[in-house]
Amino acid sequence: MSKGLLIVLSGPSGVGKGTVCNALRGKMDNLVYSVSATTRVPRIGEENGVNYFFKSHDEFKYMMENEQLLEYAEYVGNYYGTPRDFVEDTLQSGKDIILEIEVQGALKVKEKFPEGIFIFLLPPSLDELKDRICGRGTETQATIDHRLSVAVDEIGLVGHYDYAVVNDQIDQACKRIESIVIAEHCKVRG
């Protein structure tokens, strides 16, 4: 059995990473979603163990200190991280795993797993990104402004990725990502 592919999907807050990942999971049978741990408060409708593993700051600190995270990052006052064992076990089983993480985390994963496939999801425009963040109805104006400022900086890091995909229409973005994964499975590795 061949090892699965580690697919890292990241991009600025509000670009639609979660929406695209959910759509991909419905289309790709061999794709497992990596559930991240976070210290942020759950949004309405989010479930522990499904959307995130919601942790207290103390619980998250314990995971950091005991190397139970593949990567972790602080973003807008909260911590996010990828549980290490789940990712490694999934890859060894031959399944592909997709990590939906912020840019800071993706760059840390790239240091440890340079053979991963790193995909940057771009918004059609900064105005569209602002509309998406505001449309959530869960953010204060100060948080929206901060997220947009961070987004501009993150978009400047797109050169660190293997692929860039514009999320103009969810179906089209998914088709592009599916094509990338198919091509990577056909790639002759040295």
* Domain harbouring 170, CATH code: 3.40.50.300
The mean pLDDT of 87-99, rounded to a whole number, is 93
Residue 38 confidence (pLDDT): 95
On whether residue 12 sits in a domain, the answer given is yes
pLDDT for res 159? 95
Query: Would 1 be classed as within a structural domain?
Result: no
Higher pLDDT, 133 or 116: 116
pTM for this predicted structure: 0.82
Burial class (CB in 10 A: 0-12, 13-18, 19+), 174: buried
Checking if the pLDDT of 166 tops 70, the result is yes
Provide mean pLDDT across the span 144-150: 85
Binding site listing for ATP: 11-18
Confidence of residue 153 (pLDDT cuts 50, 70, 90): very high
Q: Is residue 67 part of a domain?
A: yes
Instruction: Give me the domain span that covers residue 98.
Output: 6-186
pLDDT of residue 1: 56
Q: Which two tokens stand for residue 162?
A: 């293997």
Is residue 96 in a domain? yes
Does 78 reside within a domain? yes
What's the mean pLDDT in 41-67?
93
Does a structural domain hold residue 123? yes
In eight-state DSSP terms, residue 48 is B
Inter-residue contact 120 to 17 (CB < 8 Å): no
Q: Indicate the average pLDDT of the chain.
A: 90
| pLDDT band, very low/low/confident/very high, at 91 (cuts 50, 70, 90) | very high
Where residue 134 falls among pLDDT bands split at 50, 70, 90? Answer: confident
Distances (CA, A) of 42 to 39, 95, 101, 140: 9, 28, 16, 16
**CB contact burial 69-98 (16+ within 10 A = b; e otherwise):** bbbbbebeeebbbbbeeebeebbeeebbbb
Domain assignment present for 181: yes
Paired tokens of 54: 């919601």
Q: How many domains does the chain have?
A: 1
Q: Give the pLDDT band of residue 190 (cuts 50, 70, 90).
A: low
pLDDT at 73: 82
Structure tokens at 144: 């929206």
The mean pLDDT value for 121-142 works out to: 81
- Is 90 exceeded by the pLDDT of residue 10? yes
Strands 163-166 and 117-122: parallel
Positions at the binding site:
11-18
